[in-house]
Amino acid sequence: MKTVGLDISAIRKEFPTLSRKVNGKPLIYFDNGATAQKPSSVIDRIDQYYRNENANIHRGVHTLSQEATSAYEEARITIQRYLNAKYEHEIIFTKGTTDGINLVAFSFGEMLNEGDEIIISAMEHHSNIVPWQMLCERKKCVLKIIPMDNTGELKLEELDKLLSERTKLVSVTHISNSLGTINDIKTIITKAHNAGAKVLIDGAQSVQHLKVDVQELDCDFYAFSGHKIFGPTGVGVLYGKEEILNEMPPFQGGGDMIKEVTLEKTTYNTLPHKFEAGTPNIVGGIALGTAFEFLNELDMGAVNQYEQELLNYATKQLSKIEGIKFYGQAKNKTSVVSFLIDGTHPYDVGTLLDKLGIAVRTGHHCTQPVMQFYDIPGTIRASFAFYNTFEEVDQMISALERIIPMLKD
């Protein structure tokens, strides 16, 4: 199958997991919002590191250490260029989005005072709620919430009322993992900056779908995970503006984040090492660079267009099923469909789809406040990537038409 700028059949061959069977059926993988499959180039790069380059980085004069250090830092530069960050040292390697947000909540949070305010939205993943609640408990700050409406769109007119001279940070998701809503983060960033606040963007669901330019957005922080953008698990990135990162104290203490240590006093290293204590996930960082090299070979405009076509087609076909209800009907969405079917439980639907080789996600998707807003326990979520096909959508529809009567009997 070909679309403008993309050869889907050729792309699928790059992802070995897509060729396997589950319960005797060809795998249909619609759980990309949780984790994406990996291309052979990423898998091969991991294998290459452990076979040929395995050594610690930044500390050795021997050849293997030098090779590993070079590969790790080249990955940082690849990611810097992809995001259009101003400096490579603005790219901090982390364990993932959660780790990046926690880093900011602790380190930036250390500069806050009692009564200072943090603003998040009502559609945040738990990873962008709990760290701020912990910060507010620790520093006696105030947490405020941007509300959303029934379509799954933020009520940005309320942001103006929430912002004040006490607002120090606004932290919002670029794309909702449970609703698919693409938030107008450019407007949020502008409004926050006009009030003197900094902005963190949770990009866990966006870098793999949209071309992200952090300088154009003018965000102060941007966090994402490697495993959702076709890279390894256990690695991610926090982008931060140089001047802000320089002001922030270290998040963790240990090796590599130090300049000089005595038993009486320690001075800290420069960026990015100040925030990268200890031996990192070396192969994860290197292979994450390979994942970005893979994305560099794609036309992201074509990717976005194709995924929108998949989303529209799946929504249209699913809407023909009697008793279906969608959650997240924003005008600007990415390729996520969350739904329930009258008379069925999402867990049962997900389990039977798996018997037919179809992987979807069921539950609250780590967004319990969203589910509480809609007064539901959770949803069935199908989340698409550019390697999914219209034929796979048709097979999911046929499977649902088969299993729904079984669950309603």
Hey, which residues are catalytic here? 366
Give dist(CA 107, CA 207) in Å, integer. Answer: 24
Element (H, E) at 215: helix 214-217
Helices (H), 2-144: 8-13, 40-48, 63-83, 97-107, 130-139
Residue 142, both tokens: 């105030």
Task: Please state at what angle helix 390-408 crosses helix 346-355, rounded to 10 degrees.
Answer: 120
β-partners of residue 221 are 200, 240
Residue 167, both tokens: 């607002």
Ramachandran bin of 323, using left for φ above 0, alpha for ψ from -120 to 50, beta for the remaining angles: left
Is 37 within 8 Å of 30 (Cβ atoms)? no
Half-sphere exposure of 303 (CA within 13 A, CB side): 19
**Angle made by CA atoms 73, 76, 82, in degrees to the nearest 5:** 145
Residue 212, both tokens: 């992200």
User: What is the amino acid identity at position 265?
Assistant: K
β-partners of residue 120 are 145
Give the sign of the dihedral formed by CA 270, CA 274, CA 277, CA 281. Answer: negative
CA dihedral 252, 274, 80, 102 (to 10 degrees): 20
**Start-to-end Cα distance in the chain:** 38
Beta-carbon count within 10 A of 125 CB: 22
For residue 141, the SS3 value is coil
Is 94 within 8 Å of 278 (Cβ atoms)? no
Is 298 within 8 Å of 381 (Cβ atoms)? no
**Do strands 25-26 and 21-22 pair parallel, antiparallel, or not at all (unpaired)?**
antiparallel
CA dihedral 72, 75, 80, 82 (to 10 degrees): -170
Residue 380, both tokens: 């069935």
